[in-house]
Amino acid sequence: MSARAAQTGAVQGDGEERNEAVQSGTASEPRSRQRSNTPVSAGGVGGSADEQASAVHGSLNQYEVAVLYHPDLEIDLEKASSKIEKIIKDNDGKIVKTDNWGRRKLAYPIKKQEFAVYVFYTVEMPAENVKKVEQTFNITDEIIRFLITRPDLKALEKAEALRADKAKKAAERGESEEEDGASTDEE
């Protein structure tokens, strides 16, 4: 036995034991599972590429949809809004929150309009359906402009934590001022 073979044998252990482990452990599994980086028992998605793609496509992403409606629709916005909500729901979307800002002046004229009705939607939908929604919005007459974006969830969580911390500190200052005021009244 050469020195090189002796070194690899020492590192790998007994060659016969290793071969038996390989044959008993993975020979019965399909080749796609053998090549997977994550174990099948782990929470990862195992199986074929089709199974993995369906698991990924089935998940919902959160989007913010800003819609600028034609200003003449301010009176009868419910009909136009229900049309937009139907488009989103038909594409497997779910509207989580709606925020109507009302009629606002535009920074520059769009389609010869100086004003628009701003409505913001928070939507959960699969990523592959966003293009379909955009294509439908492009041919919808009630919409002057729209924008679909993915919010930065980490930044939103950080802002919420800072807001809560600021409110907590303000409450503590309010309590300490009340205590100071009570002690000055007693003197």
Domain ranges in the chain are: 60-153
- The per-residue pLDDT string of the chain (187 residues; one tens digit each, 9 = 90 and over) reads 555 555 555 555 555 555 554 555 555 555 555 554 544 444 445 555 545 544 545 578 899 999 999 998 888 889 999 999 999 999 999 999 999 999 999 999 998 999 999 999 999 999 999 999 999 999 988 899 999 999 888 888 898 899 999 999 988 888 765 555 555 554 4
Q: Which two tokens stand for residue 94?
A: 């779910």
Q: What architecture is the 60-153 domain classified under in CATH? A: 2-Layer Sandwich (3.30)
Looking at residue 174, what is its pLDDT? 80
Kindly report the pTM of this predicted structure: 0.56
Model pLDDT for residues 48-87, shown as the tens digit of each residue: 554 554 454 557 889 999 999 999 888 888 999 999 999 9
d(Cα 75, Cα 85) in Å, to the nearest integer?
A: 18
What is the C-alpha to C-alpha distance for residues 141 and 144, in angstroms, rounded to an integer? Answer: 7
Nearest residue to 32 via CA among 40, 24, 23, 22: 40
